[in-house]
């Protein structure tokens, strides 16, 4: 079986390579804008790599050649930074996804597995979970969510026009693992966040709002869901999340901190001010997303994929925090822990403030 993974060097891609390498059969092909070097180590070694910027004008032709004779294409590539350059993000995320889907059709690949997200959903309830039937129309205030919803609408058309193509969409919650500690710190917190304090297992202050209720899942469990979708015959969308729901009170209890009530307008204002001042890399859209995405039911993944999480959401968060505290990374460019990358303190010395340069 020939499996091509687009975006195989990131958080989920790294976990998926680990998972698929345990299978006895199959050829794994990785696609990335910057493939890992020859000394990147596991799980990137022994993989056939191709370099491709999926947002480039010639991406469809390049990808079509790479996808030839593939049994399934897994599309994980997604760009979150630089947040101050929305045109670049849309070019990669929406334009690049269109290039991947066009190349899948041209190459006659029978299956496409796409990395969607809880962020594709319209605003929904925080007191009970929703199924995959909840509208996938996004949260208006979040460019990430709008792009996810636009790609899902694109896939609706793709399925209608090419019924022979098996399309699977996985919609995980927040995806954590220790190896992604530095990557997530760079992309979402920036160089000024005191992540070293997490070495003591403490988070002194946790902002609290009744709408800040999120779901998380360990990257290895997400990878298992992808593997089941790749190797099986499922179609459609699947929510992927672990219990318990992460509330401010639960996080504060596990990390020996205090909750501080913060109104939604204050959260938005703080994000806007610090983002515009180039102090941290995420805009107010991420606050809108956190406050509005619904809780998800993973019942369909459990019943049709046979998927069950092996790590609960709190343990996944602790694994991530340990990676943040110890600056953990891997040998791939996006997961690197090199000190001079965008989002790390040393990058400020090179006039690379958070949210303004491409960290991929």
pLDDT in tens, 262-313: 999 999 999 999 999 999 999 999 999 999 999 999 999 999 999 999 999 9
Residue 345: pLDDT band with limits 50, 70, 90? confident
Residues 243-250, mean pLDDT to the nearest whole number: 98
Q: How far apart are CA 358 and CA 168, in angstroms?
A: 29
Q: Report the chain's mean pLDDT, rounded to a whole number.
A: 95
pLDDT at 197: 85
Directed axis angle between helix 96-107 and helix 143-161, to 10°?
20
Q: Which residues contact 137 (CB under 8 A, 6 or more apart)?
A: 121, 122, 149
By C-alpha distance, which of 262, 261, 264, 313 is closest to 291? Answer: 264
Q: Which residues contact 203 (CB under 8 A, 6 or more apart)?
A: 251, 252, 255, 256, 257, 321
Residues 126-150, mean pLDDT to the nearest whole number: 98
Instruction: Indicate which CATH number applies to the domain containing 31.
Output: 3.40.50.720
pLDDT at 278: 92
pTM of the complete model: 0.95
Instruction: Report the number of distinct structural domains present in the chain.
Output: 1
What is the length of the chain? Answer: 360
Which domain, by its residues, includes 142? Answer: 1-348+352-356
């Amino acid at each position: 079986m020939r499996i091509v993974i687009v975006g195989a060097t990131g958080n989920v891609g790294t976990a998926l390579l680990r998972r698929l390498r345990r299978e006895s059969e199959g050829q794994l092909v990785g696609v990335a804008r910057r493939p890992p070097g020859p000394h990147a180590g596991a799980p990137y070694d022994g993989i056939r790599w191709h370099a491709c910027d999926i947002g480039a004008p010639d991406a469809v032709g390049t990808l079509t050649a790479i996808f030839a004779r593939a049994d399934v294409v897994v599309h994980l590539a997604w760009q979150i930074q630089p947040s101050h350059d929305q045109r670049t993000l849309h070019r990669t995320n929406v334009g690049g996804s269109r290039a991947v889907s066009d190349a899948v059709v041209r190459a006659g690949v029978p299956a496409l597995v796409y990395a969607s997200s809880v962020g594709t959903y319209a605003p929904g309830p925080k007191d009970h979970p929703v199924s995959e039937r909840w509208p996938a129309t996004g949260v208006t205030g979040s460019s990430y969510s709008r792009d996810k919803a636009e790609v899902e609408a694109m896939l609706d058309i793709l399925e209608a026009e090419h019924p022979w193509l098996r399309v699977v969409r996985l919609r995980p919650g927040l995806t954590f693992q220790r190896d992604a500690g530095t990557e997530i710190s760079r992309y979402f917190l920036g160089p000024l966040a005191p992540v070293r304090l997490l070495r003591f297992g403490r988070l002194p202050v946790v902002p609290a709002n009744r709408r800040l209720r999120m779901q998380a899942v360990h990257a290895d469990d997400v990878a298992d869901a992808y593997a089941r979708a790749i190797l099986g015959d499922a179609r459609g969308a699947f929510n992927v999340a672990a219990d318990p729901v992460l509330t401010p009170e639960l996080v504060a209890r596990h990390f020996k901190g205090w909750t501080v009530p913060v109104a939604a307008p204050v959260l938005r204002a703080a994000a806007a001010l610090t983002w515009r001042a180039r102090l941290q890399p995420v805009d107010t859209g991420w606050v809108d997303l956190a406050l509005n995405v619904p809780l998800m039911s993973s019942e369909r993944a459990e019943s049709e994929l046979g998927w069950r999480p092996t790590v609960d959401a709190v343990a996944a968060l602790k694994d991530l925090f340990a990676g943040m505290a110890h600056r953990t990374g891997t040998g791939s460019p996006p997961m690197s822990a090199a000190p001079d990358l965008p989002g790390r303190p040393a990058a400020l010395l090179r006039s690379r403030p958070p949210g303004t340069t491409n960290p991929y």
